[in-house]
Structure 1
């Protein structure tokens, strides 16, 4: 990340996230998580809730409480703004936790946990602590769904995506996403641009670190935390359950 502490993460990206990514992420969240949320009977845990795209999808799909965990101030501000525009029934079902999951002290509160676009960004020690916190927060037979980190580093730096452009009044918002392998870590650089009448008005940069991990490594970590890998509902996810008893 570009900032010093977790409270300050995403201070650059939060401005651009929803306008460039929210609609795509909403459709992805509906495909990945809506069915599981509809089957939840106790509560849903949304780990790394960000600006609330997944949270809103889960609230719409389910009838149970939702615990939204988001320690980054910038993203949590956007999350609360999104929640403020929901109906009173949905707002009444959501609890926002401003600390990391392993500091939230949640014990057997949910039968579904979702970690979207976050596990890859946790360095290994934090990732293992997060598995333990998820296992503690899940009820017996509770299900975890997450998108796994990349398996390996790319051989060379590469631009992997272009977001936008999206027009807002006279301005065009866009971003390039570049992956840079660096000593075992994948640095993902977002270059945000705002153009007006063909002229660049602003350019901002944000960098996120990702830690590749093979599925076998993740399965071992999950097992150590008390979670058993199970078949995921889609090929781009991994899933695990907290065993009964």
Structure 2
């Protein structure tokens, strides 16, 4: 089974294989900025809500969790159901893409974790514009950048798991390869019992390589200007001050 980029396959496995690693990464990347937020935070592409939860715990302001994919949004709402009522009261879940969410000058922090690389150029530019619109003057955007170029060939990226659930072992192999100017990333998920493969399913995601100087130009065009990021694996931009 190969469902191209809808998360219909990956949603089942995502938290089991990636949640703890993603949580630690989000805490390192976003806790400081979230703690300094004074208006609100926008979580662009909230996924299963791992980053959303980190932002809620680190801040005292409203959080806008934007997640258009139904499979991931179901996991996001399940995660929110287990939070305290005070935290749930501060989060708004937006089921439409950010450009359709109607957020204007509401937040002083926006984060886009594991999102920008998966956007085609036209969609990426629309997202920059929507983020600029959502931020107040001086607001900060944090995001992990897409790859600057294509891999040389097919390569192994990661091995996730295995994680045991009862008698079964869940795991995933992640590979990527160049494909007509984009990077094709394939997650192959397996469920094994007593050495036998019970299930094997795949989901592929396309990534659009973009050099940093092009990102800077696109951001500048919508009033976002690169600044020093809090960690080497992030990029940061600020909305122009009035």
- TM-score normalised according to structure 1 size: 0.97
8 Å contact from structure 2 (residues 3, 203) kept in 1: no
Q: CA deviation at 1:183?
A: 1.1
The answer for unaligned runs of 5 or more in structure 2 is: none
Q: By how many angstroms is 1:105 displaced?
A: 1.2
Q: Which residue of 2 aligns with 1:64?
A: 61
| Aligned partner of 1:142 among 122, 136, 139 | 139
Q: Kindly indicate whether residue 89 of structure 2 is the aligned counterpart of residue 88 of structure 1.
A: no
**CA deviation profile, 1:51-86 (whole Å, cap 9, x unmatched):** 000000000000000000000000000000000000
- 3-state SS in 1 of match to 2:191: strand
1:241 to 232, 238, 242: 238
Give the Cα separation in 2 of the matches to 1:212 and 1:100: 21
Rounded to whole Å, the distance in 1 between the matches of 2:57 and 2:11 is 23
Determine helix, strand or coil for the equivalent of 1:213.
Answer: coil
Please say if 1:205 is aligned against 2:202.
yes
CA shift digits 1:94-134 (9 cap, x unpaired) = 00000000111110010000000000000000000000000
Q: Does 1:181 align with 2:197?
A: no
- For each residue in 1:29-70, what CA deviation from the matched residue of structure 2 results, as whole angstroms up to 9, or x when unmatched? 000001110000000000000000000000000000000000
Contact 2:3/2:202 (8 A) holds in 1: no
TM-score computed with the length of structure 2 as normaliser: 0.98
Which residue matches 2:157? 160
Question: d(CA) in 2 for partners of 1:156 and 1:166?
Answer: 29
- Matched residue count: 241
Residue 243 of structure 1: how far off its partner (Å): 1.1
- Write the mapping of 1:22-171 to structure 2, written as runs, cut at 5 A: 22-171=19-168
Contact kept, 8 Å, 2:3 with 2:204, in 1: the verdict is no
CA contact (8 A) 2:41 2:107 kept: yes
Residue ranges of structure 1 left out of the alignment (5+ in a row): none
RMSD: 0.9
Q: Distance in 1 between matches of 2:106 and 2:51?
A: 18
